[in-house]
């Protein structure tokens, strides 16, 4: 759904019109009341309408078609944002249709420009690849035919991408050099960054439980990450995980390739 900001006798209200496959407005409305408790809103469907005034949830008759509310000034901005953040390397129209059938696309303003976005995708992918090729990466910092111990000793000097400037320290892989299985995570988190060890935070508990249930001793596997520094955004005093950029993953790849070359595992689990 797309909420639009409108004016009424009590001030601002957010209104969305939607045509669901089923009469779901009565079941779905409480979720929105909890999710947007501080906003006054209305959800209109042909079968019925739900309204929240900040205190109570009420229902009324349905609305057959979208109301003529005009534009709230945000739709054009949202469409531009969607167009610039759309990842052209992950273009899969078939998957998009399976996630959201095409009959619903007309309700999504950002999809009106989808043909143009898809037409420009190959050019944008090439530009991304060209940018990656210009990034020096970690290859100049990874010694040839080095052992895992030697790699671990020199990785603190890596300047292959900008992540080293904000992270506390590098986080190299850990485990058996003779491991049959290598587990590769996305990146170290806050606790891993402070400890300089992979998978010691909350995700480690899930991993250890999964390995135990699968009958695998963690000491017999090797764990590492695609990126060796913690990528985060600061919010107050907290460091919030952010997904590493493709350029950062690419820059750090020589470290992971060197690890795999030394271990020569039978299985790599991403």
The confidence band for 201, taking pLDDT boundaries of 50, 70 and 90, is: confident
**Over 70: is that where the pLDDT of 262 sits?**
yes
pLDDT at 70: 58
Q: 18 with 104: CB under 8 angstroms?
A: no
* CATH numbers and ranges of domains, the chain: 4-60 (no CATH), 76-134 (no CATH), 139-269 (3.40.470.10)
pLDDT at 163: 93
pLDDT-wise least confident of 35-49, 126-140, 219-233, 246-260: 126-140
Q: What is the pLDDT of residues 49-97, one digit of tens each?
A: 999 999 999 999 999 988 876 566 777 888 888 888 877 777 788 888 8
pLDDT at 90: 72
pLDDT at 133: 65
- State the pairing for strand pair 4-8/11-17: antiparallel
**Over 90: is that where the pLDDT of 225 sits?**
yes
Q: 122 with 237: CB under 8 angstroms?
A: no
How high is the mean pLDDT of the chain? 89
- CA distances 256 to 10, 145, 201, Å, are 59, 13, 21
Burial-class residue 269 by CB neighbours within 10 Å (0-12, 13-18, 19+): exposed
Q: What is the pLDDT of residues 232-256, one digit of tens each?
A: 998 888 899 999 998 899 999 999 9
pLDDT at 69: 62
Higher pLDDT, 150 or 75: 150
Q: What is the pLDDT of residues 93-142, one digit of tens each?
A: 888 888 888 877 877 788 878 888 888 888 888 887 776 666 568 988 99
């Amino acid at each position: 759904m797309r909420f639009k900001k409108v004016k009424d006798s009590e001030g601002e209200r957010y209104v969305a019109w939607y045509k669901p496959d089923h009469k779901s407005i009565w079941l779905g409305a409480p979720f929105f009341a909890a999710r947007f408790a501080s906003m006054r809103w209305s959800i209109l469907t042909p079968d019925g309408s739900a309204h929240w005034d900040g205190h109570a949830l009420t229902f009324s008759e349905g609305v057959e078609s979208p109301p003529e509310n005009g534009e709230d000034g945000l739709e054009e901005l949202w469409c531009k944002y969607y167009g610039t953040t759309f990842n052209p390397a992950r273009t899969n129209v078939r998957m998009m249709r399976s996630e959201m059938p095409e009959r619903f696309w007309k309700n999504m303003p950002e999809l009106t420009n989808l043909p143009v976005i898809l037409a420009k995708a190959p050019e944008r992918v090439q530009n991304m690849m060209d940018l990656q090729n210009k990034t020096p990466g970690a290859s100049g910092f990874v010694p040839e035919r080095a052992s895992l111990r030697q790699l671990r000793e020199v990785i603190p000097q890596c300047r292959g991408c900008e992540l080293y400037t904000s992270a506390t320290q590098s986080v190299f892989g850990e485990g058996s050099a003779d491991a049959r299985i290598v587990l590769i995570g996305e990146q170290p988190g806050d606790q891993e960054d402070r400890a300089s060890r992979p998978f010691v935070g909350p995700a480690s508990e899930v991993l250890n439980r999964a390995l135990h249930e699968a009958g695998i001793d963690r000491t017999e596997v090797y764990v590492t990450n695609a990126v060796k520094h913690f990528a985060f955004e600061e919010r107050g005093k907290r460091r919030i995980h952010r997904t590493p950029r493709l350029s950062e993953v690419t820059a750090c790849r020589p470290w992971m390739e060197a690890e795999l070359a030394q271990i020569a595992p039978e299985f790599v689990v991403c």
